[in-house]
Structure 1
Amino acid sequence: MTSIDRRSLLRAGLAGGVLSALPAGSALAGGPWSGWSASRPVITHGVQSGDATASSAVVWTRADRPGRMWVEVSRRPDLRGARRIRGPVLTPDTDFTGKVRLRGLPPGERLFFSVRVESLDRPGLLSEPVDGQLGIAPTRRQDVSFVWTGDVVGQGWGIDPAYGGLKIFESMRARRPGFLLHSGDTVYADGPLSAQVTLPDGRIWRNLMTEEKSKVAETLTEYRGQYAYNLLDEAYRAFAAEVPQVNQWDDHEVLNNWYPGEILDDARYTEKRVDVLAARAHQAYHEWVPIPSQSGPVHRVIPYGPLLDVFVLDMRTFKDPNDGNVHADPKRGLLGSEQREWLIRGLKESRATWKVIANDLPLGIVVPDGPAAQEGVAQGDPGAPKGRELEFAQVLQEAHRAGVTGIVFLTADVHYTAAHHYDPARAAVQDFTPFWEFVSGPAHAGAFGPNKLDATFGPDTAFIHTPPVANASPAEGYQHFGEVRIDGRTGDFRVDLRDRDGVSLWSTTLKAPRRR
């Protein structure tokens, strides 16, 4: 990662003239990759940005060969007066992907950037530029907007241009959000594609095919290919170039309903140790997704000015085994003790009006894993908290006793959209402050639902939109994203649950709370 000086960037867009060509001697000549010298490097999968806070952001790209990554950043769309940032050398070790972390950025502004890759064999020989833009989080009260969804290219539904490809990303881009909260299942590594699928009415869905999407992912190359596939779609790539992402991961980045230590009984896999598969998937995720870290857990908080903190959970890396989920051991769960304490401490310390908890597994929706085991938090027992419900009972209880207000859960995972309100007056446990959980997705996958609700925390369904049959294709609709708009003056929190075309199916506005 490489950073940019704040004072330098503040001058960007103010100084006259266009910068000269990048310096000819800036990259290492020769070396072990001299076979590409006949032509200029090519950026293969566009550009992405992510984790845009009030002072920093990550810019990502991938080349077709080793080369030096360069980024130019400006306040101006024509990049006049842009500042140059020298990035890393892209090598096969990271599948020719690379990231630059920009620091010292001007809060609350929209910036424009351009990425090039310089040849290692012929210094000064550059790829064609690929442009992008990103919004920087504010430090003062102003309007905030973002979208969220999950579940991309699942259940065998890949890219078919005749049905609009990954059209939902164009609909989200049209809303001009400040960022995308991707609630997991960013890829379906366990969901191979077939060349064509016959729809119920006889039409043919024709998937764009790649070698890596023709089988379940097991090797590092196959896991990398899952992310490369999604970026082949024009709408997805255009969205990624303009909207910063906040990504979390769930199960399908590795395989369905996985947990650490699991040994597979699945004939499709030659590698049965899930921990081995997860390590390869973890590496591919960090290479291809625009998040700051190059390794390690993905839970983190994204501060977005005085109105919003986003707590991004990792409900997979520390997950206990899927069983009946009725144990009484408070040390077990989905978060692990360190992440659980981090979340409680963060909620108590947050001064933001709204604390969004991005939970890739829903809180009150029952998500079975076969006939006897449970994948999620709830298990269908409406009584006092048991199993994984215990750790969320602790989070809600401690937040309530500390006077924390403005908690909202945003999730995906179940392949339909819904709005659930939780209230202790309806619950088996009363020691928490009422809150909402909003569900969205899938972005581009089979649509399902509805699932059973667990009454432990007193949920009530205000809205739900599900397909008439299971695994409805994207051609049938029932693809969803959610949109949040926070009013900079009042602090009110408006939620719209939208369909694939961006049409609002249902909305509500939550009044800004007063801290108790």
Structure 2
Amino acid sequence: MGTSRRRFLGWSALVTGLAFTPGLLGGTSPAVPAPAHSGGVFGLGVASGDPLPDGVVLWTRLSRNPFAPGGGMGTGPVRVDWEVAADESMTRIVRRGSVHATPEWGHSVHVDVRGLAPAADYFYRFRALGEISTVGRTRTAPAPYARVDTLTLAVASCQNWADGYYHAYADLAAHAPDVVLHLGDYIYEKPIPARGGARNAAALPLSATREAVDLEDYRERYALYKSDPDLQLAHATAPFVITFDDHEVDNNWAGAVPEDHAPLTAFALRRARALRAWWENTPVRIAARPNGTVIRAHRRLGFGDLVDLTLLDTRSHRSDQANGDNDTGQNASTADPSRTILGAEQERWLLDGFASSRHRWDVLAQQVPMADLARTVGSTRAVSMDGWSGYEASRARVLDGAADRGVRNLVSLAGDIHRSVVADLRTSYTAESATRGVELAATSITSGGDGEDSDDGDRRLKEASPHVRFGNSQRGYLLNRIHADRWEAEFRVAPSVRSPLGTLQRRALITIPDSTPEVDVV
């Protein structure tokens, strides 16, 4: 985002095992003076992701000193043993094995564990160089089209480290969701103030104070973010499904085009490094590992008969933003049918998925909002060129395609805008058009700093966008409880993220009934 152009039962056991202790339960201790590291090889934590009915990806990244070249791990491979158990005390081992963490991939570990039971909690840990990691909890997806009464899905996005503390993640972990969806801006490539911004750190690694461009820059930026104890706690509590947005690479990048006027060849090298670092630090499968700038990040995950979760990539294959990427009114450029936000192959794949889905809820998980979130700028109705509003033909093809293929309930989950929003999904917002679904935009974890319950942006949004049902600009996350007969979306917000002390509260509860794209706001 930018305006320039171009149920964990063993709670105490987990908390005791974490390498970083300050602020675990929502910032209940003083601010950490500087990024810490346990000194052990598992100081960046553990994670799991992309759950299937029979398996899940387990992740860790070895590092003795995350801000030293190669993480202080040397130039050779390191054997890492892993275990999966049916109990948190790790006595009933159901799967185990060994892999090698190599320097080529930042000594990261991605274990695609299979042979597990569906809809089951499991616990896991790693061993390497005589050390043992903390124990993480994960959960497999329900069996294909098995009856599912409830799925708890948390949604997070936009977590600028320098803008505040991750109170939202402590709150999220306390709710122990079945799965967590992260919609991007996991890191920010821009320089961090030398004193750490809102965190007022005593010192930062040199790489954090400059814009990330090289591979080691990006690796160290991930290490800085992953040093946060509340983020580690969330990762160790539930499986994450993660995509990237722009700031993992460069603000508002569009396919091969950077934000500024850098040479395309130089940006291709930068993008390849950034995507490599993203894969190294994310619990995703080998299939998502990039080959240079080529990456397949879009994927689909099913949760019984209840949810088909389609994760889109709205960065890698898009046309350059219209109108110089300036927020403006829609015109012939935004309506041009040759312009695309998904690319032709991904769009076909998405529509084919709609045709074969028999789930109660079809969910589009994506980086940028699909709905027109127009606001008044003087006498102009302005929209962001970076979201689907700048790619009107793409949006119409997808929404009409979902309706034509008999999608029962369409929900879009989006991030990027640092604001909680509920809006109607329509093929057109300037002419009569049927409502095709509902969009729920999750606010940022920290990005933008302390927000307000209602600000001038909310006012201008409501003036120009009567299809917006709710808006709030505080920080937090979105907690969804999905049932067969209704979708409940709870917007949880923090009064402040600039203070190391913080808790969250419910700001609104949205209910979407089955088969009706209407919303009730409480």
Same-fold call, TM > 0.5?
Answer: yes
Instruction: Tell me the alpha carbon deviations over residues 342-374 of structure 1, each in whole angstroms, 9 at most, x when there is no partner.
Output: 111112211110111012111122599xx9982
Does structure 2 conserve the Cα–Cα contact (< 8 Å) formed by 1:195 and 1:206? yes
Match of 1:68? 79
Within the alignment, does 1:103 sit opposite 2:109 as a pair? no
Instruction: Tell me the alpha carbon deviations over residues 156-197 of structure 1, each in whole angstroms, 9 at most, x when there is no partner.
Output: 425xxxxxx322110111111111110111110124233154
Match of 1:317? 316
1:89 Cα deviation after fit:
0.8
Taking structure 1 as reference, are residues 195 and 451 closer, same or farther at Cα in structure 2, changes over 3 Å only?
Answer: farther
Q: C-alpha distance in 1, partners of 2:247/2:428? A: 36
Q: Equivalent residue of 2:316, what SS?
A: coil
Q: C-alpha distance in 1, partners of 2:306/2:405? A: 19
Taking structure 1 as reference, are residues 358 and 221 closer, same or farther at Cα in structure 2, changes over 3 Å only?
Answer: same
Taking structure 1 as reference, are residues 502 and 52 closer, same or farther at Cα in structure 2, changes over 3 Å only?
Answer: farther
Q: C-alpha distance in 2, partners of 1:136/1:232? A: 26
Taking structure 1 as reference, are residues 84 and 261 closer, same or farther at Cα in structure 2, changes over 3 Å only?
Answer: closer
Q: C-alpha distance in 2, partners of 1:494/1:485? A: 5
2:152 to 136, 145, 152: 145
Q: C-alpha distance in 2, partners of 1:322/1:400? A: 27
Q: Which moved more, 1:269-278 or 1:316-325?
A: 269-278
Does structure 1 conserve the Cα–Cα contact (< 8 Å) formed by 2:396 and 2:428? no
Within the alignment, does 1:249 sit opposite 2:248 as a pair? no
Match of 2:89? 78
1:145 Cα deviation after fit:
0.2
Match of 1:465? 472
TM-score under structure 2 length normalisation:
0.76
Aligned-residue Cα RMSD (Å) equals 2.9
Within the alignment, does 1:307 sit opposite 2:306 as a pair? yes
Match of 1:346? 353
Match of 1:497? 491
Question: For 1:101-500, what aligned pairs fall within 5 Å after superposition?
Answer: 101-117=112-128, 119=129, 126-139=130-143, 140=146, 141-153=148-160, 156-157=162-163, 165-197=165-197, 205-206=200-201, 209-262=204-257, 265=260, 273-292=266-285, 293-295=288-290, 296-324=295-323, 326-327=332-333, 328-363=335-370, 364-366=372-374, 374-379=385-390, 388-422=391-425, 428=431, 430=433, 432-447=434-449, 449-450=457-458, 460-466=467-473, 478-487=474-483, 490-500=484-494
Q: Percent of pairs identical after alignment? A: 25
Taking structure 1 as reference, are residues 484 and 208 closer, same or farther at Cα in structure 2, changes over 3 Å only?
Answer: farther
Rg larger in structure = 1
1:242 Cα deviation after fit:
1.3
Taking structure 1 as reference, are residues 150 and 166 closer, same or farther at Cα in structure 2, changes over 3 Å only?
Answer: same
Match of 1:161? none
1:424 Cα deviation after fit:
7.3
Q: Equivalent residue of 1:77, what SS?
A: coil
Which segments of 5 or more consecutive residues in structure 2 lack a partner in the other structure?
Answer: 1-38, 64-72, 324-329, 452-456, 495-502, 518-522
Q: C-alpha distance in 1, partners of 2:57/2:345? A: 26
Q: Equivalent residue of 1:393, what SS?
A: helix
Report which structure shows greater RCO (CA 8 Å, sep ≥6). 2
Q: C-alpha distance in 1, partners of 2:383/2:485? A: 44
Match of 2:510? 508
Q: Equivalent residue of 1:414, what SS?
A: coil
Does structure 1 conserve the Cα–Cα contact (< 8 Å) formed by 2:399 and 2:436? no
1:483 Cα deviation after fit:
0.9
Q: C-alpha distance in 2, partners of 1:90/1:84? A: 19
Q: C-alpha distance in 1, partners of 2:260/2:119? A: 50
Taking structure 1 as reference, are residues 76 and 461 closer, same or farther at Cα in structure 2, changes over 3 Å only?
Answer: same
Q: C-alpha distance in 2, partners of 1:208/1:171? A: 28
Q: C-alpha distance in 1, partners of 2:302/2:429? A: 32
Instruction: Tell me the alpha carbon deviations over residues 176-232 of structure 1, each in whole angstroms, 9 at most, x when there is no partner.
Output: 1111110111110124233154x7xxxx84476223211100100001112111110
Q: C-alpha distance in 2, partners of 1:424/1:63? A: 47
Instruction: Tell me the alpha carbon deviations over residues 55-104 of structure 1, each in whole angstroms, 9 at most, x when there is no partner.
Output: 22100011233411221111111111313432321121111111100112
Q: C-alpha distance in 2, partners of 1:338/1:366? A: 29
Does structure 2 conserve the Cα–Cα contact (< 8 Å) formed by 1:172 and 1:502? no
Does structure 1 conserve the Cα–Cα contact (< 8 Å) formed by 2:415 and 2:441? yes
Match of 2:36? none
Q: Equivalent residue of 1:88, what SS?
A: strand
Which segments of 5 or more consecutive residues in structure 1 lack a partner in the other structure?
Answer: 1-39, 120-125, 159-164, 380-387, 467-477
Give the residue type in structure 2 aligned to 1:135.
R
Does structure 2 conserve the Cα–Cα contact (< 8 Å) formed by 1:307 and 1:491? no
Q: C-alpha distance in 1, partners of 2:191/2:340? A: 27
